[in-house]
Amino acid sequence: MPARVRFAFAVIVLFLLMTGPFLLTALIIWTETQISGRALLVQVLSPHLTLGFVLTALGFAAGVGVVRMLFRQYVQGLLRMAEHLGLMLGANRGFRVQPEGPPEVQALAQAANELAGQRDALMVDVEAQIARAKESLELEKNRLAALMSELTQSVVVCNLDGRVLLYNQRARTQFRALSEAPGVAGGGELIGLGRSIYAVFERNLIAHALDTIQVQLRRGDSEVQANFVTTTRAGQLLRVQMAPVLSAAEPVPAAPGQGSEARPEGPADVGRMLTGFILMLDNITRNFEVESRRDRMLHELTEGNRASLANVRAAVEMLEYGDLSDDLRDRFRKVIRDEVQSMSTRLDSTATEFADALKVRWPLEDMLGADLIAAAQRRIEQSIGLPTKLEDIDVSLWVKVDSFSLIQAITYLASRLSDEFGVREVRFRLSAAGRLAHLDLIWSGQAMSTETVMGWELESMRFEGESSPLSVRDVIDRHDGEMWLEREKVRHRAFFRILLPAAAPREVLESGIHLRGEGRPEYYDFDLFAWSEKSHELEERRLTELTFTVFDTETTGLNPSQGDEIIQIGATRIVNGKLLRSESFEQLVDPQRALSAESAKVHGISAEMLHGQPTIDKVLPAFHAFAADTVLIAHNAAFDMRFLQLKEAQTGLRFDQPVLDTLLLSAVVHPQQASHRLETIAERLGLTIVGRHTALGDAIVTAEVFLKLVPLLAEMGIHTLRDARKAAEKSYYARIRY
């Protein structure tokens, strides 16, 4: 039946149901009046009026039923379809409307699905074009990520507000070592995109360094940088080099608080201004301690040997007397031997004690000593054609060396021996000496003077067409080592002994250097250059501009007010609309109470796993620092926040930042849906759940759900934090209390 005919039929039926009883009653009254006359009008009218009212009531009820049926089939069906269309257009492109209800509504759903199919085909084509356009940009980003990840120095880039917008893996590891609680969640609360560098450095220190750079820029210096040394809150000593990040040719507004001084006027940077700064960090805590200990040791060595030298000098002066008796002469000789032996012992003891503190001026590599000598053999035999042999090689000894320059120095020495002294063969010997290594280059033949050795050490290395600006002494100094000439008179041999720092066999990498599932994670977001937190009040900031900490807790039970405790906290961060999976917080907590079997079935955490874990008073300060200056997000946040609030008195911490709840926001976006469980919302939005019922796993799913909800909220006119909080407060679920 055509839709118009059905509509006309429904209108007629509804009209008859509403007016039929009145017409029927009037007809009966008219008929009775004609038959019986006016005298009987009152007698006839009374029962018929009663019948009319009854029939009218029945007709009204039937009409309400028809209207209700039409409302369910058309109005509510169309509202559900509107929500589904929103999902199909925004959050879940693969979603399709299920045809249900009257034929007209089903036809509309089918048409919408066909349009969505055409839209998807167009979107695939557009996305392919965008992907091709972004290919070169992504290549540059990957090159940058590769470069940053391979740097051996810690690098952090900040905008003028001190917000971190780039850092490398070395910086992440170093900042974790600077944490006041490195045993909690890996100590990762100090570093992260969008985090403030002032959590590590004093604001006045950075401001002073920026002032120094601005003066250099205005002056037009060719090299612009500032250097300072500072102590962190964890007691670590950092040496920091700061360099500017300048805008392109077009100037941009100065950051709040910087004033006109942020605009350099130097001739080399006309039209450019300071937009951020780069920090290159070195932890010199151990260097400083080592140098202090070195100073003490040198002082003790000097003062300790002063008396011995005085005794030796006095004994030598006494031995010059010719009339000295043999007994006294032997006694003075014994004094000299004893004092020299004492000085030698003192020197050896000092060298052995200090061997582990030998530091290089640039990075050295751990290398198996046998491999180093094998490489030196190949180089000597190939470059100068001199045969080589081995004797007494400690195959288990590792050394810390710059292999290229050291092999070049050894080859240079072998070349000079061959050219000037006719040496026809050299031998290698490698042995351990406490925490040092002795590498000996041995030969047989004519002896040489100490002056010759010193000349070889100080000359630039040139041999067989190769040249280097370095001397042998430079290479030895590079290793903070030593080299000298020794003779074996019995075997008529001599050798150069090179003293090198030993290395532990395959030193274990620091915990946390490689993150789970991350080969080379992204740690950069250049959109933060344009972010000035001072320019907006938090409540008026758009959701797409804010930094969020998305968290979840696992607990011993569901009743925080009755003694249930947190046993795990997991969190991740959203910066500039991007989920930073690598910047996470995950920590088990010892609840110091029994764990119910029912809760263990849900989260899979056993009492054995919690044994030895830090307690909540140790974990919450680290999580508080991780979530600082961000908006908190959780699913059913009232539950998790209640656990945190009950610990305020114990820890002295308040989580007073704004909180958003994905359960409430889902109810705002999809009020017609019956379920707002995390799994249901994720399925509705086309998300795959991995790691459910672990704190970090739930936090990541919640973050992905929130990112899907943001554009749907924007379609409803909800753009700012204030808008989202007000909309959530109107939801029915907001009335639930824990």
**Per-residue pLDDT tens digits for 239-260:** 889 999 887 655 444 444 444 4
* 676 carries an active-site annotation: no
- What's the pLDDT at 358? 42
Count of CA atoms in the C-beta half-sphere (13 A) of 419: 11
| Per-residue pLDDT, 175 | 77
Whole-number percent of the chain with pLDDT over 90 = 18
Average pLDDT over residues 728-732: 75
pLDDT mean over 368-375? 90
Question: What φ, ψ does residue 631 adopt, rounded to 5°?
Answer: -95, 130
Mean pLDDT, range 164-178, rounded to an integer: 79
Better-scored residue on pLDDT, 507 or 24: 24
- Which pLDDT score is estimated for 706? 95
- DSSP SS3 for 424: coil
The Cα 314–Cα 336 span in angstroms is: 9
Round to whole Å and give the CA distance between 512 and 190. Answer: 14
Quickly state the pLDDT bin for 271 (edges 50, 70, 90): low
Looking at 3.90.550.10, 3.40.50.1370, 3.30.450.20, 3.60.150.10, the CATH number of the domain 151-283 comes to 3.30.450.20
Work out whether strand 547-555 and strand 631-634 pair parallel, antiparallel, or are unpaired.
parallel
Q: Is the pLDDT of residue 552 over 60?
A: yes
Confidence of residue 693 (pLDDT cuts 50, 70, 90): low
pLDDT at residue number 263: 45
DSSP 76: I
Angle between helices 662-669 and 695-715 (to 10 degrees): 30
* Average pLDDT of span 358-375: 73
Largest CA distance in the chain: 179
Domain 536-735 has CATH 3.40.50.880: no
Residue 64 has pLDDT above 70, yes or no: no
Say what the pLDDT of residue 311 is: 80
* pLDDT band per the 50, 70, 90 thresholds, residue 359: very low
pLDDT of amino acid 259 = 46
pLDDT at 251: 46
Q: Decide: 611 and 642 in contact? Cβ < 8 Å.
A: no
More confident residue, 94 or 735: 94
414 has a pLDDT exceeding 90: yes
Residue type, 376: A
Instruction: Answer with the residue of higher pLDDT: 75 or 175.
Output: 175
Q: Between 145 and 35, whose confidence is greater?
A: 145
Q: Which of 164, 159, 158 is nearest to 254 (CA)?
A: 159
| Mean pLDDT within 652-657 | 88
Question: Is the full-model pTM beyond 0.85?
Answer: no
**Mean pLDDT, residues 594-609:** 80
Out of 42-56, 70-84, 554-568, the most confident range is: 554-568
Is residue 3 predicted with pLDDT exceeding 70?
no
Q: Which of 114-123, 480-489, 650-659 has the lowest mean pLDDT?
A: 114-123
pLDDT at 402: 84
Strand residue runs (E) in 623-694: 631-634, 659-661
Residue 271, sorted as left (phi over 0), alpha (psi -120 to 50) or beta, turns out to be left
**Cβ pair 209, 242 in contact under 8 A:** yes
| Crossing angle (nearest 10°) for helices 450-458 and 403-421 | 140
Position 411 scores a pLDDT of: 93
Among 3.30.70.3340, 3.40.50.12780, 3.30.360.10, 3.30.565.10, name the CATH number for the domain at 365-503.
3.30.565.10
Q: Which of 48, 536, 693, 719 is catalytic?
A: 693
Residue 148 has pLDDT above 90, yes or no: no
Task: Encode pLDDT of 555-581 as tens digits.
Answer: 988 888 888 899 999 999 998 888 988
Mean pLDDT for all residues in the chain: 77
The confidence score (pLDDT) of residue 154 equals: 86
Residues pairing with 399 in the sheet = 367, 502
Q: Are 133 and 497 in contact (CB under 8 A)?
A: no
For residue 659, count CB atoms less than 10 angstroms from its CB and return exposed for 0-12, middle for 13-18, buried for 19 or more.
middle
